[in-house]
């Protein structure tokens, strides 16, 4: 993986080589193996190279070939299948970089080449005969891609910092985006804070020429084919094959590989599959990482046997790998609050920053993550109870809600489950909005300037799509996959990891695996009163019985981090540091914000932690105004 930059002057004016080189230099953190560019009059493409796979050392971008020029930030996971379809000689495959393979696919299938690619990618191809630029991003958004189309000039980059290096790229802040960010503290979007610098959505391609710009979605998770087998065990067998394939594809690296681990199903399954596959090749994971704190006096082991750290310790000892426990502190939170979210995105998972630093120091270049499991292999039952009600399968619905409520004697809980999971999703939107469990709490708007809120009357309807429950598990699963929260997190981590030469890979978002899980019979979501039964069965030889994520120590640690971080910030402001959080900001209720900022409690409860989330968003908005608005 690496980083790319492009600029097209459709007026015919030549690209300024000095300005382009300066913009490409803004991406130097991504390119440990060098920076290269190609300029031909009004067209310029640049590449920052970071080697990951064995084939990437043969890469030389920008790649110019028969009227086509490509720059790609890509790792393809279906290389062999793609080579077969393109009739590429076997002896040529070992030294064939992914960029050349993508270019061959484009030459063969044109825009439809994206349907044949499996992996993480963002690329741009200048098609000189047609005088158009074709860009695409992988189905899940593992690799970011941003662009600006303004006054006849089109610019694209893997990182907004490169676009902002051009003097003519507008820096206007999108105020409705700011209002949404302040109003919904549990949401994370990939939508840009810059009104003229959007991201290319995951699973979409873009084509731009003198005629204009066209964006089209090519991956439609709601349209995958049904998967139906005669024997139930066949589903588990195929699931295991796909999981093995997804992990093996992401272990193809010439550099050390690490993995996240927790007491949950997703990361534990990925880590265990990776350790077994590497062991068969005479290798091992360089390290595994968890956010959970090491057992200590401050964070003692839970008296019951469900503390995830006990599970992690058992797995690591069994597999012979070293675990790096969470070290994030209030200082990390304090430093995170100063980062530029307009460039990096609004993800707040700053506990990963010390992980990235440690992995980078150890020369690790690939980090495996279990992200995406909740939307794929370990999807639960969202949308299933309401579809049972719609189909008239009332007895099965009653059995399900009885199990979830703890028995029919818990009749209040039974009725609550029946209402929220069975009846409510079937109601039309106006009624659902009235009774939704995701209704907005006015108390969370305490830092927003009332006049600013009044300028965003449609804020309520601008929520992320996945806050609405619908009948049908496939519909809910597809909705979650296109919701944007996964792509937003992945993009932020891509930016944060670039100084450390680190790339994150997500086996559970493998397109082949998703096409399987999306097509499964919904009845497999609830097997003998258990959710995620198919995944457990597929990995029954690896996963401990009863594995489930229970992390009370993590919650205690997060309270301590929040308390320390906010007290450090309050101290800095009182001493005259942090000047950017002074003065006016038309987006905030400054008086309320400053009062709360100066009254951080000695101890922090869960309620105070929630308030600090809102406070953190207000502080980051103040930073945004200081950088771009004032």
Tokens linked to 405: 């409520």
Please tell me the distance from the alpha carbon of residue 69 to that of residue 110, in angstroms, as a whole number.
Answer: 14
Q: With bands split at pLDDT 50, 70 and 90, how would you rate the model's confidence at 467?
A: confident
Say yes or no to pLDDT of 442 above 60.
no
β-bridge pairing 119-127 and 68-76: antiparallel
Q: With bands split at pLDDT 50, 70 and 90, how would you rate the model's confidence at 203?
A: very high
Please tell me the distance from the alpha carbon of residue 542 to that of residue 98, in angstroms, as a whole number.
Answer: 33
β-bridge pairing 287-289 and 503-505: unpaired
Query: What per-residue confidence (pLDDT) applies to 189?
Result: 84
Say yes or no to pLDDT of 188 above 90.
no
Q: With bands split at pLDDT 50, 70 and 90, how would you rate the model's confidence at 36?
A: very high
Q: With bands split at pLDDT 50, 70 and 90, how would you rate the model's confidence at 10?
A: very high
List 6's β-bridge partners, or say none: 45, 156
Kindly tell me the burial class for residue 256, based on how many C-beta atoms sit within 10 Å of its own C-beta (0-12, 13-18, 19 or more).
Answer: middle
Query: What per-residue confidence (pLDDT) applies to 72?
Result: 98
Q: With bands split at pLDDT 50, 70 and 90, how would you rate the model's confidence at 317?
A: very high
Query: What per-residue confidence (pLDDT) applies to 443?
Result: 54
Query: What per-residue confidence (pLDDT) applies to 405?
Result: 84
List the CATH code of the domain at 223-377+482-550: 3.40.50.620
The residues, ordered by sequence, that sit 6+ positions from 23 with a Cβ below 8 Å of its Cβ are 5, 7, 46, 157, 162, 163, 165, 166
User: Helix, strand or coil for residue 63?
Assistant: strand
Query: What per-residue confidence (pLDDT) applies to 513?
Result: 97
Share of the chain above pLDDT 70, in %: 95
For residue 538, which of 260, 273, 259 has the smallest C-alpha distance?
A: 273
Kindly tell me the burial class for residue 566, based on how many C-beta atoms sit within 10 Å of its own C-beta (0-12, 13-18, 19 or more).
Answer: buried
Tokens linked to 395: 């007895």
Angle between helix 352-361 and helix 330-337 axes, rounded to 10 deg: 100
For residue 161, which of 70, 25, 32, 8 has the smallest C-alpha distance?
A: 25
Q: With bands split at pLDDT 50, 70 and 90, how would you rate the model's confidence at 440?
A: low
Please tell me the distance from the alpha carbon of residue 96 to that of residue 59, in angstroms, as a whole number.
Answer: 8
Handedness of CA 568, 570, 576, 579 (dihedral sign): positive
Domain spanning 3-172+194-219, CATH architecture: 4-Layer Sandwich (3.60)
Query: What per-residue confidence (pLDDT) applies to 466?
Result: 67
pLDDT tens digits for range 94-123: 999 999 999 999 999 999 999 999 999 999
Query: What per-residue confidence (pLDDT) applies to 439?
Result: 65
β-bridge pairing 119-127 and 212-217: unpaired
In this structure, are residues 333 and 564 in contact, taking their beta carbons and an 8 Å threshold? yes
In the predicted model, what is the mean pLDDT of residues 131-160? 97
Q: How many residues does the chain have?
A: 630
Tokens linked to 299: 């964070």
Say yes or no to pLDDT of 451 above 60.
yes
pLDDT tens digits for range 259-287: 999 888 999 999 999 999 999 999 999 99
Half-sphere exposure of 517 (CA within 13 A, CB side): 33
Say yes or no to pLDDT of 404 above 70.
yes
**Higher pLDDT pick, 280 / 611:** 280
Please tell me the distance from the alpha carbon of residue 190 to that of residue 198, in angstroms, as a whole number.
Answer: 9
Please tell me the distance from the alpha carbon of residue 525 to that of residue 378, in angstroms, as a whole number.
Answer: 9
Q: Provide DSSP, 315-340.
A: HHHHHT--EE-----HHHHHHHHTS-
For residue 300, the tally of other CB atoms under 10 A from its CB is 11
For residue 509, which of 383, 369, 348 has the smallest C-alpha distance?
A: 369
Please tell me the distance from the alpha carbon of residue 543 to that of residue 409, in angstroms, as a whole number.
Answer: 33
Say yes or no to pLDDT of 505 above 90.
yes
In this structure, are residues 367 and 259 in contact, taking their beta carbons and an 8 Å threshold? yes
Say yes or no to pLDDT of 581 above 80.
no
Q: With bands split at pLDDT 50, 70 and 90, how would you rate the model's confidence at 75?
A: very high
**Higher pLDDT pick, 564 / 251:** 251
User: Helix, strand or coil for residue 574?
Assistant: helix
Handedness of CA 465, 469, 472, 476 (dihedral sign): positive
pTM of the model as a whole:
0.94
In this structure, are residues 333 and 561 in contact, taking their beta carbons and an 8 Å threshold? yes
In the predicted model, what is the mean pLDDT of residues 479-496? 94
Query: What per-residue confidence (pLDDT) applies to 475?
Result: 93
In the predicted model, what is the mean pLDDT of residues 155-180? 95
For residue 54, the tally of other CB atoms under 10 A from its CB is 12
- CATH 3.40.50.620 region(s) of the chain? 223-377+482-550
In this structure, are residues 348 and 188 in contact, taking their beta carbons and an 8 Å threshold? yes
Please tell me the distance from the alpha carbon of residue 495 to that of residue 492, in angstroms, as a whole number.
Answer: 5
pLDDT tens digits for range 333-355: 999 999 999 999 999 899 999 99
- H helices of 95-231, where? 98-109, 160-164, 175-183
pLDDT tens digits for range 512-560: 999 999 999 999 998 877 888 899 999 999 998 767 677 788 888 988 8
Query: What per-residue confidence (pLDDT) applies to 510?
Result: 97
């Amino acid at each position: 993986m690496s980083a790319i930059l492009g600029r097209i002057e459709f007026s015919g004016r030549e690209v300024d080589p000095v300005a382009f080189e300066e913009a490409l230099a803004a991406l130097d953190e991504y390119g440990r193996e060098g920076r290269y560019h190609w300029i031909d009059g009004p067209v310029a493409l640049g590449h920052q190279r970071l080697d990951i796979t064995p084939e990437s050392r043969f890469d030389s971008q920008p790649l110019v070939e028969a009227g086509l020029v490509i720059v790609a930030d890509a790792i393809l996971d279906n290389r062999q299948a793609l080579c077969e379809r393109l009739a590429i000689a076997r002896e040529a495959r070992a030294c064939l970089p992914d960029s050349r393979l993508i270019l061959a696919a484009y030459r063969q299938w044109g825009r439809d080449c994206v349907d044949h690619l499996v992996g993480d990618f963002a690329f741009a191809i200048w098609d000189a005969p047609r005088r158009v630029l074709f860009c695409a991003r992988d189905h899940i958004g593992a690799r970011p891609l941003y662009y600006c189309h303004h006054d006849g000039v089109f610019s694209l980059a893997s990182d907004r910092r490169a676009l902002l290096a051009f003097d003519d790229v507008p820096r206007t802040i999108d105020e409705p985006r700011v209002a949404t960010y302040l109003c919904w503290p549990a949401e994370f979007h990939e939508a840009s804070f810059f009104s003229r610098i959007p991201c290319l959505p995951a699973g979409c391609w873009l084509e731009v020429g003198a005629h204009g710009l066209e964006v089209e979605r090519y991956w439609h998770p709601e349209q995958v084919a049904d998967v139906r087998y005669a024997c139930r065990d066949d589903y588990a067998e195929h699931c295991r094959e796909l999981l093995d394939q997804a992990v093996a594809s992401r272990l193809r690296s010439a550099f050390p590989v690490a993995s996240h681990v927790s007491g949950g199903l997703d990361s534990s399954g990925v880590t265990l599959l990776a350790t077994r596959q590497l062991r068969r090749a005479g290798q091992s994971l360089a390290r595994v990482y968890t956010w959970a704190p090491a057992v200590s006096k401050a964070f003692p082991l839970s008296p019951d046997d469900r503390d995830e750290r006990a599970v992690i310790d058992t797995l690591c000892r069994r597999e012979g790998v070293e675990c790096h426990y969470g070290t994030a502190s209030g200082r990390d939170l304090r430093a995170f609050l100063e980062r530029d979210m307009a460039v990096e995105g609004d993800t707040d998972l700053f506990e990963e920053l010390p992980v990235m630093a440690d992995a980078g120091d150890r020369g690790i270049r690939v980090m495996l993550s279990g992200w995406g499991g909740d939307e794929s292999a370990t999807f639960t039952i969202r949308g299933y109870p309401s579809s049972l009600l719609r189909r008239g399968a009332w007895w099965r619905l009653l059995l399900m809600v009885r199990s979830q409520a703890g028995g029919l004697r818990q009749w209040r809980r039974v009725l609550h489950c029946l209402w929220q999971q069975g009846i409510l999703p079937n109601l039309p939107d106006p009624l659902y909005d009235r009774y939704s469990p995701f209704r907005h709490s006015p108390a969370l708007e305490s830092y927003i300037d009332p006049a600013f809120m009044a300028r965003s009357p449609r804020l309520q309807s601008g929520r992320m799509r996945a806050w609405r429950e619908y009948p049908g598990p496939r519909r809910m699963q597809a909705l979650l996959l296109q919701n944007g929260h996964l792509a937003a997190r992945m993009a932020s981590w891509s930016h944060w990891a670039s100084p450390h030469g680190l790339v994150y890979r997500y086996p559970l978002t493998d397109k082949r695996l998703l096409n399987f899980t999306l097509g499964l019979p919904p009845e497999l979501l609830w097997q003998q009163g258990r959710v995620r039964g198919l995944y457990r069965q597929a990995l029954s030889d690896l996963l401990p019985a009863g594995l489930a994520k229970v992390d009370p120590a993590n919650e205690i640690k997060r309270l301590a981090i929040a308390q320390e971080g906010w007290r450090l910030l309050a101290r800095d402001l009182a001493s005259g540091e942090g000047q950017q959080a002074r003065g006016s900001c038309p987006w905030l209720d400054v008086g309320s914000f400053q009062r709360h900022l100066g009254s951080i409690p000695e101890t922090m409860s869960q309620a105070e932690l929630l308030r600090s989330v809102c406070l953190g968003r207000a502080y980051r908005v103040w930073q945004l105004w200081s950088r771009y608005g004032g």
